[in-house]
Amino acid sequence: MQDFINPYRDKSHIQALSVQINKKAKQLQDDLYIMEVCGGHTHTLMRYALKGLIDSQKIHFIHGPGCPVCIMPKSRITQAYQLAMLPHTIVVTLGDMIKVPGEFGNLADARAKGADVRFVYSPLDCLQIAKENKDKKVIYFAIGFETTTPMSVALLQRAIQMNIQNLFLHINHVLVPPPVRAILDDKRAKVNALIAPSHVSVISGSKIYEPLAKDYKIPIVVSGFEPVDMLESILSIITQKINGEHYVQNQYSRVVNIEGNLKAQAMIEKYFEIAPSFVWRGLGEIKESSLQLKEEYRFFDAQYQFPIQEIESRESKSCLCGEILKGLAQPKDCKVFGKSCTPLKPMGSCMVSSEGACAAYYKYGALQ
């Protein structure tokens, strides 16, 4: 494993790429505003202090809405909280979601009040929980982009095959292109290049970004997560910009291809369909930006099977998480950043998630 990773963290290679970037950047006519859509890329930029290697004042980095925990609106967290407080239920989710605040508190607060809330590393763990608790209704709070949707499909498939009747899913699966398009349509946004998510691209393929490159005439590079990957991608974006080009380039070809995982895509299409709309934290309602279970599988849909009250979300006026997700603010622009909002006591989801921009700046800010 080390032999595979080390070349992408090689100091001499990193330095050589930074020299090329700084030399090439002198040819830029206009400022370049690169949005790294995925929170993992934000953490790479901060962890390895890559921004400090780039001297050009014309290159700017903007953090996008590619963190599945960060974009989850308080209303959906509140629904999970309500489900947890129902009698004879067990709410199961991934670790980060336990700490995201809703209107009544977070899922950790619900657990402190006696609710049975559990986190798992794999959705398939829900099968065993359901088998061991046949007198209770187990609800998996399913989140994530195209990356994690196949895992929810696998869970549903197994539940059907095993005839498990007490397992349900609260679906919060969202898609990458619609929110990116919404940001690019915002006249306030300065984004004119994208570092596209790679985990998502493994499933969907790099082809899903081609309409964005064509419609908005911007360079897009699918990048890996190592520092060499990121710097190669930045260099490619600069080169495209100088040449007046705008197309999708796949830097992460060792993992991603154009078409993606066709088997996973077929699995998703069997059970899911495009939902009419989804309310994104900070971005508001975006049409056709999420998935829902098809009607024939609604028996497993917690939103149809349990009484859930619609609660209007009220975001803290002090928290700039919404503006950060839109690319209109940086974490350090927020007055509560690192003060009343820390990873131990987060006010917004950008500080809660391990992929959040605020968490990255808090953890690695001293390196910049």
> Is 81 in the same domain as 191?
yes
41 in helix, strand or coil? helix
**Is the distance from CB of 223 to CB of 12 less than 8 angstroms?**
no
Comparing CA positions, the residue from 104, 65, 100, 58 lying closest to residue 82 is: 104
Quick one: 346 and 211 in the same domain?
A: no
Tell whether 267 and 345 lie within a shared domain. Answer: no
Asked if residue 22 belongs to a domain, the reply is no
In a domain, 108, yes or no: yes
Instruction: Tell me whether residue 129 is in a domain.
Output: yes
Within 104-166, strands assigned E span 116-119, 137-144
CB 204, CB 146: distance < 8 Å? yes
Which pLDDT tens digit goes with each residue over 175-206?
A: 999 999 999 999 888 899 999 999 999 999 99
Q: Which of 339, 343, 336 is nearest to 364 (CA)?
A: 343
End position of a domain, from candidates 299, 315, 331: 315
pLDDT, average across residues 307-327? 78
Which residues are CB-neighbours of 23 under 8 A, at least 6 positions away?
none
Q: How far apart are CA 32 and CA 57, in angstroms?
A: 9
Query: Does 213 share its domain with 360?
Result: no
Residue range 82-87: mean pLDDT, rounded = 95
Per-residue pLDDT band at 366 (split at 50, 70, 90): low
Non-local (6+) Cβ contacts of 364 within 8 A are: 43, 46, 47, 49
Lowest model confidence (mean pLDDT) among 44-58, 94-108, 153-167, 245-259: 94-108
The confidence score (pLDDT) of residue 2 equals 54
Mean pLDDT, the chain, integer: 91
Same domain assignment for residues 62 and 165: yes
Do 87 and 207 fall within a single domain? Answer: yes
Which residues on neighbouring strands pair with residue 105, listed in sequence order? 102
pLDDT band at 368 (very low <50, low <70, confident <90, very high): low
> Which has the minimum average pLDDT: 84-93, 152-161, 251-260, 345-354?
345-354
Q: Determine the structural domain holding residue 347 and report its residue range.
A: 321-367
Same domain (yes/no): 326, 237: no
Q: What is the dihedral of CA 329, 330, 332, 335, to 10 degrees?
A: 20
**Is 5 inside a domain boundary?**
no
Are residues 362 and 266 part of one domain?
no
**Ramachandran area for residue 282 (φ above 0: left; ψ -120 to 50: alpha; else beta):** left
The CA-based diameter of the chain, rounded to the nearest angstrom, is 67
- pLDDT band with cut points at 50, 70 and 90 for residue 1: very low
| 208-253 pLDDT per residue, tens | 999 999 999 999 999 999 999 999 999 999 999 999 999 999 999 9
Sign of the C-alpha dihedral computed for residues 126, 128, 130 and 132 taken in this order: negative
Domain count, the chain: 2
What is the domain-level CATH number for residue 93?
3.40.50.11740
Q: Are 244 and 357 found together in one domain?
A: no
307 and 325, same domain (yes or no): no
pLDDT of 367 over the 80 cut:
no
Once rounded to an integer, what is the mean pLDDT over residues 255-273? 97
If residue 32 lies in a helix (H) or strand (E), which one and from where to where? strand 32-36
* Segment 163-180 mean pLDDT: 96
Does any domain span residue 13? no
Least confident of 86-100, 218-232, 306-320, 350-364: 306-320
Give the rounded percent of residues in the chain with a pLDDT score beyond 90.
68
Work out whether the CA dihedral 276, 80, 128, 355 comes out positive or negative. Answer: positive
Domain contains 301: yes
CA distance 48 to 52: 9
Identify the residue whose tokens are 């977070």: 106
The pTM of the whole model exceeds 0.75: yes
For residue 220, the cross-strand partners are: 194, 248
Residues 299 and 200 in one domain: yes
Q: Is residue 208 part of a domain?
A: yes
Asked if 319 and 336 touch (Cβ cutoff 8 Å), the reply is: yes
* 279 is a domain residue: yes
Q: Report, in angstroms and rounded to the nearest whole number, the Rg of the chain calculated over CA atoms.
A: 21
Same domain membership, residue 327 and residue 214: no
Q: Crossing angle for the helix pair 39-47 and 227-242, nearest 10 degrees? A: 100
